[in-house]
Structures are given as structure tokens and as C-alpha cells.
Amino acid sequence: MNKFFITVLGMFLVFSACKTPEARRPVKTTSGSYIDASVAMNKKIIAADEKDILAIIEKDTSREYLSSEQGFWYFFNNQIPSETEQADFGDIVEYEYDIKDLNGNIIYTKEELGTQEYHMDKEELISGLREGLKLMKEGETATFLLPSHKAFGYYGDLKRIGANMPIITTVTILNIEQIN
């Protein structure tokens, strides 16, 4: 009887040890409603920025505004029709620019900002300006109307540019140093 009992106990232990592991369930689940609310708020901000920018474009019939694939609008103040090349990845672009609000009030002058040097796509720069520089050639001047998400976004620049503030920037490329 003792052998039988040990055999049954051994078989029980073997079969109970072969149980597959069960997945652990989360203690607390969230619905993602914060993300949904954030997306809805960002869509409203983008729509308001676009509405304001399109109102400016509609009033200004003296210029030909272009819409970029990246989500901003621009026009050339001075366009060079020559075959000079635009800046490419890694090229060094020397430029100057100013920043205004949508009412045309100056936030930063060219003198305050000074001459800037930017290594194309290798340094941090607001996305609207980074993409705008790619559209220009040496010696050209262009004005970009940037919605807030293409400018300084949610935080602004923590100085004079507020949160979710669309801007107008006029940029002149002084020199493009081709690296390749």
C-alpha cells in the first residue's frame, strides 16, 4: 500500500507540474481617453492655425502663395531662376531671418537673430524652417507662414513666442556650401 501511495503521489506531482503558465493580467487598465482628447485638441489647433493663415492669403492678392507638402504656405520675395542647386543633406546653409506674428508684429528682427549657420538635416531646427530652407537657392528670399506645429509648437520658445503660436518668417539664404 505504501508503494501504491507513493506512486500515485508521484504521478500527481508530475501531472500538476506540467501546467502551462498563465498570462498575468494588468492590475489597472486605462481606456486611452487622454490620447483621444489630445488628438482632438491638436486637430482643433491645426484647423484654427490654417483658418487664420488662409485668411491672410485670401486678403493678399498681390503675391502668389504656394502650399508645401509639409503643411505650410510660402511665397518668394526674391526668386532666382538660375540653375543653382538647392541645399542637400549635410550642406552648410548660411541664412538670416526674422519672425513675426500673423498680424505682422515683429517678434525677433534679423539683427537680433543674426546670421545663422545650419548643417542640413544634421542639427535641430523648427520643422517649418528646416523644410523651407530645402525649397530655396542661394540668394533667394522667401516668406513662410508656419502653423504652430511647424513653428515652435506647444511650448513656444519660452521667451517671446507663446504656446501654439503660428508665425511668419522671412528668410534669406546668403550662402550654401556644398559638402558632397
The pLDDT value recorded for residue 17 is 61
The pLDDT value recorded for residue 144 is 98
**pLDDT tens-place string over residues 90-109:** 899 999 999 999 999 999 99
Residue with C-alpha cell 513653428? 151
C-alpha span between 150 and 145 (Å, rounded)? 9
The pLDDT value recorded for residue 8 is 77
Task: For the chain, list the domains and their CATH numbers.
Answer: 66-177 (3.10.50.40)
- Asked if residue 96 lies in contact with residue 172, where contact means CB atoms within 8 angstroms, the answer is yes
Mean pLDDT by 10 residues, the chain (180 residues): 76 66 74 82 95 96 94 95 85 96 96 95 93 94 97 93 96 91
The pLDDT value recorded for residue 34 is 82
The pLDDT value recorded for residue 11 is 73
The pLDDT value recorded for residue 19 is 62
Give the residue from 172, 170, 165 showing the smallest Cα distance to 53: 165
Q: Tell whether pTM > 0.85.
A: no
The pLDDT value recorded for residue 15 is 67
Dihedral sign for Cα atoms in the order 77, 78, 84, 88: negative
C-alpha span between 62 and 65 (Å, rounded)? 9
